[in-house]
Amino acid sequence: MKPFGHRAWLLVLLAALVGCAGPHRPAPVYDRYNPAEKAPPYYVVSRGDTLFSIAWRYGFDVKRLANANNIAPPYTIFPGQAIELKESSAPVAAKPKPASPAKAVTTPSAKPSANVAKAPVPAVPKPKPKPKPKPKPTTPAFSSESWRWPVHGPLVRRFVASGQAHKGIDIKGKMGEPVKASRSGVVVYAGSGLVGYGNLLILKHSERYLSAYGHNRRLLVKEGEQVKAGQTIAELGDSGTDSAKLHFEVRVNGKPVDPLKLLPRR
């Protein structure tokens, strides 16, 4: 028998290596919801940011964040602006109204003679009452509505308050399925600037309550738009994650709460 040559050994080694190598699998994608990062002293505003999205990212109450930066409602900010990341309970001082010009005072040069007849004083018509201004649209009152499920799929991940926090719930759904507003409110953020949320909507329901809808395929409403409870606001998708689902959050005074404590039981 001939000795086992070097070429034969090489063929055996190659065959073993090929057998061990299985099909290539991509690295798994993990959701990242507001990583537990320490807020820096300042945040520089980028295009597409709103004060609501900045407050949401770092877990601040938007009103207190605005007060700390002397930003009055409707909380307009600009790219390149430095936002100090802290809260203050002191309200922003209202701008003083310009003083009205002083009326000219006229003094008669001489008193009229007693023999001169007084001219009749014409009647002065009474001014018509000014029409009352129409009230500006306000955020619907929180107490007038109950919460609704934004989609009706199975719950695949629950709220976690401590540790590596998951600050909302994940609801499985079909791609393109309608996502509905859980309550009436105003759209205060619509974009994809928050890492881990994909295409995200944030709704303001009152001075205390906000809700968020993440991983959408398409957003159907714009910032500043008022929406009603049950209105379709987006299409369910997998943006920012690895499967079709909706990430839903509720915050009270900037702090996340378990949505299951607000939503009706199924």
Same-domain status, 86 and 156: no
Q: What average pLDDT score do residues 246-257 get?
A: 95
Same-domain status, 70 and 184: no
Q: What average pLDDT score do residues 211-219 get?
A: 98
- Among residues 171, 180, 173, which one has the least CA distance to residue 234? 180
Same-domain status, 79 and 157: no
Q: Is residue 259 part of a domain?
A: yes
Tally of structural domains, the chain = 2
Helix (H) or strand (E) holding 80: none
- In the structure, what pLDDT confidence band is assigned to residue 164 with cuts at 50, 70 and 90? low
Give strand pairing partners of 170: 157, 247
Same-domain status, 150 and 82: no
CA distance 93 to 67: 9
pLDDT of residue 32: 42
Same-domain status, 239 and 158: yes
pLDDT in tens, 97-122: 555 555 544 555 545 444 545 555 55
Same-domain status, 261 and 164: yes
Q: Kindly give the pairing relationship between strand 185-191 and strand 178-180.
A: unpaired
Question: Is residue 30 over pLDDT 70?
Answer: no
Q: Is residue 105 part of a domain?
A: no
CATH number at residue 74: 3.10.350.10
- Please give the model's pTM, rounded to 2 decimal places: 0.68
pLDDT of residue 144: 62
Q: Is residue 100 part of a domain?
A: no
Residue 100 region by backbone torsions, left for phi larger than 0, else alpha for psi between -120 and 50, else beta: beta
State whether residue 226 is helix, strand or coil.
Answer: strand
Domain that holds residue 87: 37-91
Q: Is residue 7 part of a domain?
A: no
Give yes or no for a contact between 35 and 57, defined as CB atoms under 8 angstroms apart.
Answer: no
CATH number at residue 241: 2.70.70.10
Q: Which of 91, 126, 159 is the last residue of a domain?
A: 91
Q: Kindly give the pairing relationship between strand 155-157 and strand 178-180.
A: unpaired
pLDDT in tens, 60-103: 999 999 999 999 999 999 999 999 999 988 765 555 555 555 55
